[in-house]
């Protein structure tokens, strides 16, 4: 039975989503994308920037993007602080509600906050995309407990960890915590060998997801012998 990532009724074999920014050349980006195996790629449009600082700006640019022929699938960012690039959840929820009513498939970048995630789902979001750490920081998973709570409580839509992944182990941990997918850009684009890092991220997402499905062993304070203790010569 296929184990696909399903968003808004569309199935993806790959659970890795990649971006297009910060690459040293178009050719390098194309090679890295091919190596990643990703089936979904986010595109930042300079003249029609889908990142907004208010709900009104985000709604307007999403409409313009669709008018010029881009997808009605929107990775929605409504930024509340320019230095940290943390989202303004109040404005984000409002923009999500309006865009969903207009037929957009909205994938909102949000905090690792259960209440915000619930409100986004109520507004019609097709997925919730909590940050692991600030965008482009490469700090990795900063609040694993929050992601675990989100995983346990959010079952209606996929949970995709977005932002802050720095290396393959971060991607694996995100998936081991139960994320349905991982979205990244800088971790691959700023690697010394982008193609090799893209391959590593592809494999890490697969391994982390399998580990989550398999169920890890319980943690113990003391040792537990792997060989039977009966029959030991004393």
DSSP 174-205: HHHTT-SEEEESHHHHTSSSHHHHHHHHHHHH
Q: What percent of the chain has pLDDT over 70?
A: 93
- For residue 71, name the pLDDT band (cuts at 50, 70, 90): confident
Could you give the CA distance from residue 52 to residue 65 in angstroms, rounded to a whole number?
13
- For residue 128, name the pLDDT band (cuts at 50, 70, 90): very high
- For residue 47, name the pLDDT band (cuts at 50, 70, 90): very low
Q: Which conformational region is residue 85 in: left (phi greater than 0), alpha (psi within -120 to 50 degrees), or beta?
A: left
Is 22 annotated in the active site? no
For residue 49, pLDDT beyond 50: no
The mean predicted confidence, pLDDT, of the chain is 91
Q: Residue 46's pLDDT is what?
A: 47
Residue carrying the six token digits 């909102």: 108
Domains, the chain, ordered by start = 5-214 (3.20.20.70)
pLDDT digits (tens, 9 = 90+) for 91-124: 999 999 999 999 999 999 999 999 999 999 999 9
Gyration radius (Cα) of the chain, Å = 19
Q: What percent of the chain has pLDDT over 90?
A: 76
Of residues 229 and 177, more confidence is placed in 177
**123 close to 154: Cβ distance less than 8 angstroms:** no
Mean pLDDT calculated for residue range 201-205: 98
Mean pLDDT calculated for residue range 157-176: 96
Mean pLDDT calculated for residue range 137-146: 95
- The single residue of 22, 75, 119, 219 carrying the catalytic annotation is 75
């Amino acid at each position: 039975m296929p184990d696909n990532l399903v968003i808004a009724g569309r199935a993806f074999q790959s659970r890795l989503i990649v971006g297009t920014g910060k690459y040293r050349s178009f050719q390098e980006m194309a090679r890295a994308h091919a190596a990643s195996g990703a089936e979904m790629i986010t595109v930042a449009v300079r003249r029609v920037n889908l990142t907004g600082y208010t709900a009104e700006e985000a709604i307007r640019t999403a409409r313009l993007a669709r008018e010029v022929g881009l997808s009605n699938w929107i990775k929605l960012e409504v930024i509340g602080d320019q230095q940290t690039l943390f989202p303004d959840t109040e404005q984000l929820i409002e923009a999500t509600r309006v865009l969903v009513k207009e037929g957009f498939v909205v994938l909102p970048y949000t905090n690792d906050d259960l209440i915000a995630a619930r409100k986004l789902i109520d507004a019609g979001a097709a997925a919730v995309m909590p940050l692991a750490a600030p965008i482009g920081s490469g700090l990795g998973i900063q609040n694993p407990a929050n992601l675990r709570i989100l995983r346990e409580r959010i079952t209606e839509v996929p949970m995709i960890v977005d932002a802050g992944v720095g290396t393959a182990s971060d991607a694996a941990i995100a998936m081991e915590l139960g994320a349905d997918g991982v979205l990244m850009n800088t971790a691959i684009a700023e690697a010394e060998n982008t193609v090799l890092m893209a391959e590593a991220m592809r494999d890490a997402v697969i391994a982390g997801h399998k580990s989550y499905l398999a169920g890890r062993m319980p943690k113990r304070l003391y040792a537990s012998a792997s060989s039977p203790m009966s029959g030991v010569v004393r």
